[in-house]
């Protein structure tokens, strides 16, 4: 159940600053103190941490983080919220507010990402995190997205997102969070997810751009056996017919669907293409 005190504080803060909640920006503010406390525990904070927060909102998580770490960099896209937060945090030296779109602005150097993400930017933020230097992320995500991220090959939720994330990180769902833990409540259940980037990639990929292209093509036709979309891709690459046949002869999964192949097998297909195709 939502914590009445935090709910009243949230509503009072919004009224004081004359703020109307934006559905377009996917604003849902956490009002459950127990979930907030567990978020801080899951983040495994220490005084030397520098934290990136995306979607500062009304600053509930921002304040809590700042009490435990060296510095918090909080990105907020909503200009009205940003201006209100600037007044709220004036004089607090370990909070830096950044106005802008988290997908587009340059992220400051930090070692952890902690955020109640607006659901609409979950995918681009995740891929930006995976290409950054940040080692750990603790994210509040839509349940469906979280289950896609952590899915196993062969499951209905397994797809491109799972494969690409698995290459450089490990992900785990820590808990599900009910809609009534937010104001206003979203229409779906959320999930707290911890993502840790691997020191080394989980498997070998000889050409990352080719691997990415292959995964996109195969999962765009996930219900088809990979023989058909793979052949189309090889033709788009302008490979000669004999080269295409040579590649296909080395792939033992032509009669499988993409959703049946684990990330390592998909990487092996990309590596076969890379090794056989002319330079």
Query: What pLDDT does residue 4 have?
Result: 60
Query: What pLDDT does residue 2 have?
Result: 43
Distance CA 167, CA 263 (A): 7
Q: Which residues of the chain have pLDDT under 50?
A: 1-2
Query: What pLDDT does residue 199 have?
Result: 87
Enter the CATH code of domain 208-276.
Answer: 1.10.8
The domain locations on the chain are 4-197, 208-276
Is residue 1 within 8 A of residue 30, CB to CB? The reply is no
Query: What pLDDT does residue 45 have?
Result: 97
Is residue 88 within 8 A of residue 63, CB to CB? The reply is no
User: Per the CATH hierarchy, to which homologous superfamily does domain 4-197 belong?
Assistant: Vaccinia Virus protein VP39 (3.40.50.150)
* 135-160 tens-digit pLDDT: 999 999 999 999 999 999 999 999 99
121: CB partners within 8 A, 6+ apart? 26, 54, 102, 103
* Cβ atoms < 10 Å from Cβ of 34: 12
* 41-80 tens-digit pLDDT: 999 999 999 999 999 999 999 999 999 999 999 999 999 9
Tokens in use for 162? 């799972």
Closest listed residue to residue 51, CA positions, set 4, 111, 3, 99: 111
Distance CA 149, CA 241 (A): 36
Distance CA 140, CA 177 (A): 9
């Amino acid at each position: 159940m939502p914590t009445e005190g935090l709910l009243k504080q949230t509503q009072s803060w919004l009224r004081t600053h004359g703020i109307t909640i934006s559905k377009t920006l996917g604003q849902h503010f956490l009002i459950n103190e127990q979930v907030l406390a567990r978020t801080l525990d899951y983040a495994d904070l220490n005084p030397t941490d520098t934290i990136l927060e995306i979607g500062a909102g009304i600053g509930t998580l921002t304040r809590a983080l700042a009490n435990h770490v060296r510095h918090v960099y909080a990105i907020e896209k909503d200009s009205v919220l940003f201006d209100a937060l600037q007044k709220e945090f004036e004089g607090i030296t370990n909070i830096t507010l950044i106005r802008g779109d988290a997908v587009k602005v340059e992220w400051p150097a930090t070692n952890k990402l902690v955020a109640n993400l607006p659901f609409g930017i979950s995918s681009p933020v995740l891929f930006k995190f995976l290409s950054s230097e940040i080692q750990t992320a603790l994210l509040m995500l839509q349940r469906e997205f979280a289950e896609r991220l952590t899915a196993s090959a062969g499951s209905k939720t397994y797809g491109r997102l799972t494969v690409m994330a698995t290459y450089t990180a490990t992900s785990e769902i820590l808990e599900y969070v009910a809609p009534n833990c937010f104001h206003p409540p979203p229409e779906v259940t959320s999930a707290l997810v911890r993502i840790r980037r691997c020191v080394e990639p989980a498997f070998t990929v000889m050409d990352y751009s080719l691997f990415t292209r292959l995964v996109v093509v195969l999962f765009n036709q996930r219900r088809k056996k990979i023989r058909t979309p793979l052949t189309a891709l090889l033709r788009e690459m302008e490979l000669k017919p004999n080269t295409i046949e040579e590649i296909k002869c080395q792939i033992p999964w032509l009669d499988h669907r993409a959703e049946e192949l684990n990330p390592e097998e998909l990487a092996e297909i990309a590596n076969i293409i890379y090794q056989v195709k002319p330079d």
